[in-house]
Amino acid sequence: MNRFLQVVDVSDAVGTAIRIAPGPVPEEIPADQAPGRVLCADVIAGEDIPGFDRSIVDGFAVRANDTAGAGDAAPALLRNTGRVSMGDPESPLSVTNGTCVYVPTGGVLPAGADAVVMTEQTDTAGDMVLVKRPVAHGENVLMHDEDYRRGAVILPAGRRISPQDAGVLAASGRTMVTVAKKPVIGIISTGNELVPVSATPGPGQVRDANAPMIAAWLQEFGCIPRLYGIVRDERSSFEQALAKALPECDAILLSGGSSKDDRDMTAGIIAGSGEVLVHGITIAPGKPTIIGRIKNIPVFGLPGHPASAYVVLLVVVRPLVARMLGKTETPLVTTRATLGTNIPSQKGREEYVRVRLENGIAHPVFGKSGLLNTLVLSNGLIRIPAGCEGLEQGSTVDVILW
């Protein structure tokens, strides 16, 4: 049996993942359910927003020319002819040379006015207003189409709708939006040694940590995880689980059994009913990763070690599901830090080192392969490119936050 993996670079693996990803499937949903979902079509302004010229301060609507040269010593004198009431579009008030109208924040700018003087920059004496600062044309005014002009793109396709976006959608009158259907991603854990979370492991057994971890990550990313339980390292139970999952899922993630040990059947089983496109990536941790597909359904084999599986999720699975969601690929969130210790790295593989961030210093969290505690003790990863032999203490690094 050939025990050597035909490893490919991370960029090739990611390219393959994106290439085999099915595109997003649009569905219309109520806008109030849209946050967290990914837009499948641009949201276009159906009208000018805010739709009327309005004041952005409490003050006096004026003609800017009337305030030219105004100062504390020589204020401009304007006669106050009224008060704009909020939400009243029919206001008959207008401003002519030598007059002004009081307007609260958000009030309609009266006809004839082209600027607003803040109340703080005025004094009043009877119905006269003393303006102590000049204002420029348009000052303190939001024009009717200044936020969005009719026909403008308010939110672009591919954007994940944020809580702020929900406010903008409401302001623009959208009650329905077209988003990508949430892809259903099947998760199958493999390994004779695995037992469910609720079980007490016997000698040599471990609880299935990967399925809940992968499911949680998928859910947070905007997918629907579907769990198919634990299968033994036996062809028949493996094939049964896969046959059940294939018609129900848009992609399938298998965890464990992705290497080339005699018990590792993932690649053989994918090849039996589909094709294996990648078996082995020059990434550490996470080398024994499989990318395959069966009848146009992407089927990935993730390494069994939870920390390795998590790195592969972020680096390889993330671009796959981003594409399935039609999500504009947003880079992983990073922060700058100073490296606290030298990190040696083997040339020829892209390494992801777990680090703990403290006061801007990134401390590597070294640990034996398979330790769970490094996932909790670290709060990010440093990527060391394949061509690099390590990073020196004191150098500036980008930490991928997780």
What is the Cα gyration radius of the chain? 31
**Contact region with ligand AMP (CB under 6 A), list: 1-9, 191-199, 220-228, 291-299:** 191-199
Alpha-carbon distance of 252 to 188, in angstroms, equals 8
List contacts with Mg ion (CB under 5 A): 191, 256-257, 304
Q: Which is nearer to ligand AMP, 156 or 370 (CB)?
A: 370
Site string for ligand AMP, 92-111 (x = CB under 6 A): --------------------
Evaluate whether 353 touches 364 at the Cβ level (below 8 Å).
yes
**Contact region with ligand AMP (CB under 6 A), list: 24-32, 51-59, 297-305, 321-329:** 297-305
Closest CB 369 distance from Mg ion, rounded Å? 14
201 in contact with ligand AMP (CB under 6 A): no
Return the sign of the alpha-carbon dihedral for residues 318, 322, 324, 325.
Answer: positive
208 in contact with ligand AMP (CB under 6 A): yes
303 in contact with ligand AMP (CB under 6 A): yes
Return the sign of the alpha-carbon dihedral for residues 126, 130, 135, 137.
Answer: positive
Alpha-carbon distance of 369 to 356, in angstroms, equals 17
Closest CB 320 distance from ligand AMP, rounded Å? 20
User: Which of 110, 158, 183, 191 touches ligand AMP by CB under 6 A?
Assistant: 191
Neighbours of 390 (CB within 10 A): 13
Which residues in 192-231 are b (16+ Cβ under 10 Å) and which e? ebbeeeeeeeeeeeebbbbbebbbebbeebbbebbebebb
256 in contact with ligand AMP (CB under 6 A): yes
Query: What is the DSSP code (8-state) at residue 275?
Result: E
Closest CB 309 distance from ligand AMP, rounded Å? 8
**Cβ-proximal residue to ligand AMP, closest one:** 304
DSSP string, 38-101: BBSS-EE-SS-BS-S-EESSSEEEE-GGGGTT--SSSPEEEEEEEEPPTT-TT---B--TTEEE
Q: Which is nearer to ligand AMP, 256 or 319 (CB)?
A: 256
User: Which of 98, 156, 370, 390 touches ligand AMP by CB under 6 A?
Assistant: 370
User: Which of 10, 209, 242, 294 touches ligand AMP by CB under 6 A?
Assistant: 209
Query: Residue numbers of the site for ligand AMP (CB under 6 A)?
Result: 189, 191, 193-194, 206, 208-210, 255-259, 303-306, 370
